[in-house]
Structure formats: C-alpha cells, structure tokens
Amino acid sequence: MNNRLKDKIIIVTGGNGLLGRSILDRLKSEGALCLNFEISHSTNDDLTQVYCDITNPNSIDEALELVLKMYKKIDGLVNNAYPRTKDWGTKFEEIVFDTWKQNIDWQLNSYFYISQKVAIQMSIQKDGSIVNMASIYGVVGADFSVYEGTTMTMPAAYSAIKGALINFTRYVASYFGPQQVRVNAVSPGGIFDNQNEVFVSNYCKKVPMRRLGSPEDIAPTVAFLLSDDSKYITGQNIIVDGGWTAI
C-alpha cells in the first residue's frame, strides 16, 4: 500500500459502522492519522477515538476544539455517520412527520454543521478535503422491485437527504474553492450486510456486475479523494455501484 496520506489528520464520523471501519482501515494503511468521531466510545489520549454526538452542535464544537488544540490542523473530513430514528424504514404512507423531520435534522443538518466548521478551518489553512458519503438513491429513484418478497423498503427520507447532500457538496466546493478546499461526494450502490436472501437475489439480478458491493469496494475512492492524487477534483459525486446507475 502506498503512503500518500502520510501525516494527514483525517476525521471520520461514524467510524465504528460497516463502511466506517473499512474507510478507517484504508486511510490508516495509506499513512493517515485517523480520528474516529463516534457516539459509542469515549475519547482517548491521542484522539484516534473521540466521543462525538454529531446530532449535537455543542458536542461537535468540543470534539473539533480537542483536535485543533492537539494537532493544529484538519486535513480531511469524511462525513459518514448515519444517525436515524427507531422507525427508520417505515413505508411511505406510515411515516410520522415528526420522525421525518428528526431524520432530516440528525443527518443532513449535522453534515452541514460539521462541514461548516471544518471548511472554515481548512480555508484558513488554504488546504483540505471533505468527502460526503451519499448514495445512488440520491442520484436516481428507488427501484422498489428489489424489495418484492420481503418486508424491506427504501426509506423516503434517505433519498431526500442523500440528494440534498450531493448538491450541498457542489455548493460548498464552489464556495470554498478559492481557498483550495475540496469537497466531493461518494455514492455507493447497495452494500452487502447479511440482508434478506430474496432482496440479495433481486438486487444481484439487476446490477450489471451481478453482486452487491462490499465496504472494501468503497474505501479506496474515499482515500483517493482525500489524497493529493485528486488535488484538482472538487464538487464531484463519484458513483461506486457496480453499474447500477448506468442502465
């Protein structure tokens, strides 16, 4: 593995999750010092683990203050955390408006807040890269046929959040471009996570590569966008989906 992220201080939110673990492993293997912002652990001495509730602006402020006090800079941010209400995945007709609003607030609004704070710091540094984890369902409509024969569905809020996040990515990239701050999105296709066998079969029949993705399929693109190999790429949404959106 190359060392193209050597000495870079990179924050990954939600690093204990399925995608987060793989992203952290990949970034570390390329030399980055990764700071995992998570609600499910406490803060350690070197800040490789930082307690942070990304739904709470005060918690974000406290976590970022610790990072800047110790390391004086932030080279990269991966917005990966995925907070959601217990009724996430409710069918459209049954969605409670208050939980719709809560999910928008927890996900989209928290991405805005931490991106705002980190982008301001990066603009002072005149350098930095932010990667927002989006989705194919922020690009195209849901194919509900893959859920036939299961109790699964595609959450309506997910498409709204991810679609908004992709255009928010373009906005921040345009706004902070003069300060050499790059902002991009990565949109994975379906990721295998021991889902219902019927869903897996339905999905694999639809996608050109005939399989669900793995976290290891996604992490290299994140690493690329955080590295200097992508130093003239900003405002883009990189789709990693086995060809799902090509047909």
The dihedral built from the CA positions of residue 228, 130, 39 and 14, taken in this order, carries a sign that is negative
Residue 10 near residue 76, CB atoms below 8 Å: yes
User: Which residue in 51, 18, 56 sits closest to 36, CA to CA?
Assistant: 51
Residue 244 near residue 189, CB atoms below 8 Å: yes
Burial 130-158 (b: 16+ CB within 10 A, else e): bbbbbbbbbbeeeeeebbeeeeeebbbbb
The alpha carbon of 8 is separated from its chain's Cα centroid by a whole number of angstroms, namely 18
Max distance between CA atoms of the chain, in angstroms, equals 53
Tell me the β-bridge partners of 133.
Answer: 186
The dihedral built from the CA positions of residue 100, 105, 110 and 116, taken in this order, carries a sign that is positive
In Å, what is the CA distance from 98 to each residue of 55, 79, 102, 113? 16, 24, 6, 21
User: Active-site residues: which are they?
Assistant: 158
